[in-house]
Amino acid sequence: MSDAQIKIQKFAVNRMKGTPPLEDLLKNIGSDKIAARARTIHGTRYRLDDITHEVADDIWCLNFVRNRTGHGPGKFANAAAISGFTFGADESFGEDTAALFDPKTRFIYIQYNHVGMRHSSIEQYLSSYTGGTSVYTVKPKLELNMERQFQKTDIIRRLELGFDITKMTAADRAAGQSLASMASVGSDMDADKLFITMSISSRDPTKRLSMQKIKDGVAKILPLASKDALIKARAYGGEEPAVTQVPVGKKGKTKKKVAPADFEVIDLLDQIIETKTDIKLGADFRMPLNARYNALKLARKTI
C-alpha cells in the first residue's frame, strides 16, 4: 500500500480553577459505554472512541471521532463511475483524530485532520462532557512567545488580520472587541471570511499605528485562534527609528534626520510547533490507529 503523511501539532492543556485534572475526566469517559460518550456541539456529534492509558510512560492515547453526514467520499474504480457506500440505519461517515496527552507536561499532541476534530472541537467536547461544570482549554504551543514579542514592539506600521466568520459568535463580535467587531461587516454581506489590512504611509518612518489601541485589540482577539476563528494575525514592526540633528547651510542651522529602523514580521499564528511523518496505509486506505499512536509518541520525544 502507498504511504500517507500525518501532521502532528503540539498544544497545551489548561483547566479553570475547580476543574479536575484531565486524566480524571478521561478515566470517567473510559468507564462509559461507547454509545454514551457522544456529545452534540453546534449540531455535530463528537465522540471519544478509544482511550488507552499506557501506565509505564503515564501517557494517554486517544482517538476522537466526528460524525460526518454531509457529502462524503465515494468508491472509485477504473472501469466504473464513482459510487456511494451502503450504510445501516444508524451508520454514516466518521472522521477520526488521534491524540496523545502527557499529564506530566500537560501537553497534548494532536493529529491534524482538516475535516475531523480540531483542537477547538476537542476543547469543547472535553468541557461539555461534565455538563459545563468544568472547563478545559487547548491552546497551540508556539515556538516563541510571539505575543510577548509583539507587546515589546515599539512601532507598528502595518497590521493584517483574517477572520473565519462562520466560526465566530455574536459574543466574539461584541462591543469592546473593536477589531473583532469588524467581522460584522463581512457577516452582514454573507461572507465566510474577512481579511483586514491597516497600514500607514512608508514615507515618514516616524509614523506608527495607534500602538496601545492596537496591542489591546490584538490581545482581545488572540483567543479566537483557539476556535479557528482567527486565521491571520500578522504585524510589521520594530524599534524606534534613530533621530539625529544634521547641519543645514552655513549659519549653524540643523534639521532632523530620521534613519528608518529595521522592521520585522511578527506572525502571531504561524509559530505552532508541529512535525510530519509518513505512515503506510492499510487495506482500507486508512492510516491504522496504532501507526498514528506511534507517530504521536515519536512527536512527544522530538517536538
pLDDT-based confidence at 187, cuts 50/70/90? Answer: low
DSSP per-residue string spanning 181-231 = HTHHHHHHTT-SEEEEEEE--SS-TT----HHHHHHHHHHHGGGGGGT-EE
More confident residue, 124 or 222: 124
| Distance between CA atoms of residues 110 and 248, nearest Å | 63
**124, 135, 126: which is closest to 25 by C-alpha?**
126
Mean pLDDT of 135-149: 73
- The full set of domain ranges for the chain reads 3-141+272-302, 146-267
Which phi and psi (to 5°) does residue 152 adopt?
Answer: -85, -10
| Distance between CA atoms of residues 101 and 120, nearest Å | 15
pLDDT(129) > 70: yes
pLDDT, one tens digit per residue, over 288-299 is 999 999 999 999
Mean pLDDT of 34-45: 93
pLDDT number for residue 175:
43
Cell numbers placing 51:
482511550
pLDDT, one tens digit per residue, over 70-114 is 888 899 999 999 999 999 998 999 999 999 999 999 999 999 988
pLDDT number for residue 176:
46
The size of the chain, in residues, is: 303
- Are 227 and 120 a contacting pair, CB within 8 Å? yes
pLDDT, one tens digit per residue, over 148-180 is 677 777 777 788 888 888 877 777 766 445 666
pLDDT number for residue 145:
60
- Are 230 and 120 a contacting pair, CB within 8 Å? no
With 0-12 / 13-18 / 19 or more C-beta atoms within 10 angstroms meaning exposed / middle / buried, residue 229 is buried
Mean pLDDT of 174-195: 69
pLDDT(117) > 80: yes
pLDDT, one tens digit per residue, over 84-93 is 999 999 899 9
pLDDT-based confidence at 201, cuts 50/70/90? Answer: low
Is the sign of the CA dihedral 48, 54, 60, 64 positive or negative? negative
| Distance between CA atoms of residues 26 and 41, nearest Å | 19
pLDDT-based confidence at 280, cuts 50/70/90? Answer: very high
pTM above 0.85, yes or no: no
More confident residue, 126 or 114: 126
pLDDT number for residue 205:
55
| Distance between CA atoms of residues 162 and 194, nearest Å | 6
pLDDT number for residue 42:
84
pLDDT number for residue 26:
97
| Average pLDDT in the chain | 83
> Helix, strand or coil for residue 81?
strand
